[in-house]
């Protein structure tokens, strides 16, 4: 039996179903309905939890709820952790690898909605849609006259930081606007026609805007730093729909307040839900409460991915969206 081969399935035709430990922070709600004909969800508040905890083979994480070594200590029999987020930086992947626990993500379940939102944020910043809306609602149009012009979206040079599931769909959407697309990623993608830059600074130097949608890791923490912002220039725009810590937030605030950047569209922040108050008064900054990927349709997609992964696990088949834990650099 190899490392990934499972014991015989515990799924039967009667009511004896495998137990799935539900791991979540209180603010993350358990989606409903789950497929209770596939597994029995058990939470720590459940009276049956103490009975099933030692023998449970799978954990389902709701949202980006942290799963650390101390949590895994409670589940000596767990073999697989199923994520429901686009990213997995909230999971101690190194510890899972050490314990020979497999890990999955939400795969591409959120990709289309995330890509749409990234385009929306960039459009909003360049054309000043939200700022113009506030201008009208405040009754300033008849008082101050015409609102200042925004900037053209079509034809811009856009650099994508992370050409994964979301980044690839962002690029396809940008093509429709006649944008010149370039990217940086861990490796060059031979199947895409876009220019590749191994350095984020080089990408920024040749871009009007950067859209950040890569995964957060030790390697990508503050990948958008002071040097990148300087390279992007005073008219440059940064859109971040990945994770807040991908961008050095303190430096970003300094650049925006000091007029050293053209604007920013931010769905994520370093210390959520706290957002730097200096950004609240800037009309060239669009703020969003970490909702870029969330729609009713994307939640349906996530449920389908989780169910497919769980069924594959208990049927000894390849997982749908397994994370490669062999290289965590």
Question: Of 192, 188, 198, nearest to 172 (Cα)?
Answer: 192
Residue 175 designated active-site: no
Number of other residues whose CB lies within 10 A of the CB of residue 213: 28
Residue 74 designated active-site: no
Q: Which member of 243, 249, 251, 303 is catalytic?
A: 243
Q: Where are the alpha helices (DSSP H) in 46-151?
A: 49-52, 69-72, 93-98, 111-127, 129-137, 141-144
Residue 297 designated active-site: no
33 prior amide bond cis, ω within 30? yes
The sheet that has 263-266: what strands, in order across it? 195-196, 180-184, 157-161, 209-212, 237-240, 263-266, 285-287
| Cα 23 → chain centroid | 19
Distance separating alpha carbons of residues 162 and 287, to the nearest angstrom: 21
Please, what sign has the CA dihedral across residues 78, 83, 89, 93? positive
| 174 token code pair | 């940008």
Q: Which member of 70, 175, 272, 297 is catalytic?
A: 272
Count of alpha carbons within 13 angstroms of residue 302, beta-carbon side: 27
Q: How far apart are the first and last CA of the chain?
A: 29
Q: Which member of 79, 127, 290, 322 is catalytic?
A: 290
Which residues are annotated as catalytic? 243, 272, 290
């Amino acid at each position: 039996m190899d490392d990934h081969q499972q014991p015989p399935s515990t799924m039967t035709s009667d009511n004896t179903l495998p137990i799935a430990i539900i791991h979540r922070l209180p603010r993350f709600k358990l989606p409903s309905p789950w497929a209770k004909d596939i597994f029995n969800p058990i939470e720590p508040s459940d009276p049956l939890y103490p009975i099933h905890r030692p023998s449970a083979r799978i954990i389902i994480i709701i949202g980006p709820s942290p799963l650390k070594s101390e949590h895994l200590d409670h589940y000596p029999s767990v073999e697989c952790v199923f994520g429901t987020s686009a990213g997995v930086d909230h999971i101690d992947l190194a510890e899972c690898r050490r314990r020979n626990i497999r890990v999955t993500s939400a795969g591409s379940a959120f990709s289309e909605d995330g890509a749409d939102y990234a385009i929306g944020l960039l459009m909003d910043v360049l054309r000043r849609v939200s700022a113009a809306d506030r201008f009208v609602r405040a009754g300033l149009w008849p008082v101050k006259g015409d609102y200042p012009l925004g900037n053209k979206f079509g034809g811009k040079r856009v650099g994508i930081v992370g050409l994964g599931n979301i980044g690839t769909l962002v690029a396809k959407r940008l093509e429709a606007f006649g944008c010149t697309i370039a990217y940086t990623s861990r490796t060059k993608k031979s199947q895409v026609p876009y220019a590749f830059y191994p350095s984020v600074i080089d990408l920024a130097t040749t871009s009007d805007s950067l859209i950040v949608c890569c995964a957060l890791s030790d390697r990508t923490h503050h990948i958008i730093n002071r040097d990148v912002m300087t390279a992007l220039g005073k008219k440059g725009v940064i859109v971040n729909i990945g994770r807040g810590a991908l961008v050095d937030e303190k430096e970003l605030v300094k650049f925006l307040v000091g007029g050293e950047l053209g604007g920013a569209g931010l769905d994520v922040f370093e210390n959520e839900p706290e957002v730097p108050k200096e950004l609240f008064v800037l009309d060239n900054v669009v703020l969003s409460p970490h909702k870029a990927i969330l729609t009713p349709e994307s939640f349906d997609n996530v449920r389908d991915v989780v169910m497919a992964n769980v069924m594959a696990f208990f049927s000894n088949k390849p997982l749908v969206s397994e994370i490669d834990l062999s290289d965590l650099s």
